[in-house]
């Protein structure tokens, strides 16, 4: 068996760290969406949001960076 095709330890750590980050991001987005869905329409209107925008808002990056699909 050749070890040439196996990723190095730092590569595995980067892959795991990225997976953990994406998992945490997904959980935070789900929590944000759940919290926003619990807000009544009048309050959403008061803060300048509509119920139709909730998915987009939950996917937004608070740092202003663009999200890239990989």
**43 inside domain:** yes
pLDDT < 50 stretches in the chain: 1, 69-70
Which residues are CB-neighbours of 31 under 8 A, at least 6 positions away?
none
**13 inside domain:** no
**15 inside domain:** no
Tell whether pTM > 0.85. Answer: no
Total number of domains constituting the chain: 1
Encoded tokens for 3: 């070890």
pLDDT of residue 18: 96
**16 inside domain:** no
- Domain of residue 36 covers 26-60
């Amino acid at each position: 068996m050749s070890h040439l095709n196996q990723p190095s330890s730092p590569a595995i750590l980067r892959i795991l760290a990225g997976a953990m980050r994406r998992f945490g991001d997904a959980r935070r987005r789900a929590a944000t969406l759940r919290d926003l869905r619990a807000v009544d329409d009048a309050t959403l209107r008061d803060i300048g949001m509509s119920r139709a925008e909730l998915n987009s808002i939950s996917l937004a990056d608070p740092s202003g960076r663009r999200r890239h699909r990989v």
